[in-house]
Amino acid sequence: MTAPGSPNPVTVETFRELPTFEGLTDTQLEAIVGLAHLEEIDVGAPVLSQGGPANDMRVVISGKCRLIVGLAGNRTQHLMTLTRGEVIGWSALLDQATWLASATALKPMTVLVLDGRKLRALCDSDHDIGYRLMRNLFADVAGRLQDTRLQLLDMYSHA
């Protein structure tokens, strides 16, 4: 299953070396292949838009994007940049309706798009897949939380 315009179909190989899918067997990955497709995104194009429906979780296959939160009065806060292996839009795995941030491509990107509703259903029905996937995502989220703490510490303000 591929998205229109995307030359390469998603296979089990697509998931290799992506931390989010580490530890899953090929059989388990086959189950995920069915609910994923690849998208190409041009520089400057949105990867996801704040306020939009949080239907899909994405993993960066190549390229780079930045995560931006829009604030009142047209102001924006640039949170972080994401590259290969990093997850965008984990909200899709929660029962959450909308994206809380936007992401825009800084370099041409290939993004693995996973249908959030189907992925949740798969995790619910196959707890082995669900456990492994959630564990990997938890490590990712914990790393992000740590990074956010460091940003809050404002490490370079003194010495």
Partner 1 sequence: MPERIAATELNSLVSLLQADGYRVIAPTIRDGAIVYDEIASAGELPVGWTDDQAPGEYRLRRRDDSAAFGYVVGPHSWKQFLFPAREQLVTLRVRDKQPEWSAVADEGPAYAFVGVRGCDLAAIEIQDTVFTKGPFVDGRYRARRDRCLIIAVNCTEAGDLCFCASMGTGPRADGDYDLRLTEVGDELLVEAASARGRSLMDRLPTQAGGEALQVQADQAITQCGDAMGRSLNVTDLPAKLMGNLEHPRWQDVAERCLSCGNCTMACPTCFCSNITDTSILSGDETARERSWDSCFTADHSTIHGAQFRPDVKSRYQQWLTHKLATWTSQFGTSGCVGCGRCIAWCPVGIDITEEANAIAAGPGHPAPLPEPKQYEARENDGQVPVPVRVASVVRETHDTVTLTLDLPDGYQHGHGQFNMLSLPGVGDVPISVSGSNGQALEHTLRDVGKATGALADLVTGDVLGLRGPFGTAWPIEEAVGRSVVLIAGGIGLAPLRSVLREMIARHDDFPHLRLLYGTRTPNDILFSRELLGWIQNSRVRAHVTVDRGDSSWDGNIGVVTKLIRRKRLPKDGLYFLCGPEIMMHFALAELLADDVPEKNIYVSMERNMKCAVGLCGRCQYGPHFVCKDGPVFRYDQISDIFGKSGF
Neighbouring C-beta atoms of residue 143, cutoff 10 Å: 12
Q: Give me the residue label for tokens 């690849």.
A: 38
Q: How far is the CB of 80 from partner 1 (least distance, A)?
A: 4
Whichever of 7 and 155 has its CB closer to partner 1, that residue is: 155
Contact 9, 85 (CB under 8 A): no
Residue 63 or 116: which CB sits closer to partner 1?
Answer: 63
Closest approach of Cβ 2 to partner 1, in Å?
A: 28
Please name which of 140, 147, 43, 49 lies closest in space to residue 103, comparing C-alpha atoms: 49
List of residues contacting partner 1 (CB under 8 A) = 66-67, 76, 78-81, 83, 85-86, 106, 143, 146-147, 150-151, 153-159
- Please state the closest distance from residue 96 (CB atom) to partner 1, in A: 23
For partner 1, give the closer residue by CB, 73 or 158: 158
Give the separation between CA 14 and CA 17, rounded to whole angstroms.
9
Alpha-carbon distance of 113 to 136, in angstroms, equals 17
Closest contact distance (angstroms) between CB of 95 and partner 1 is 28
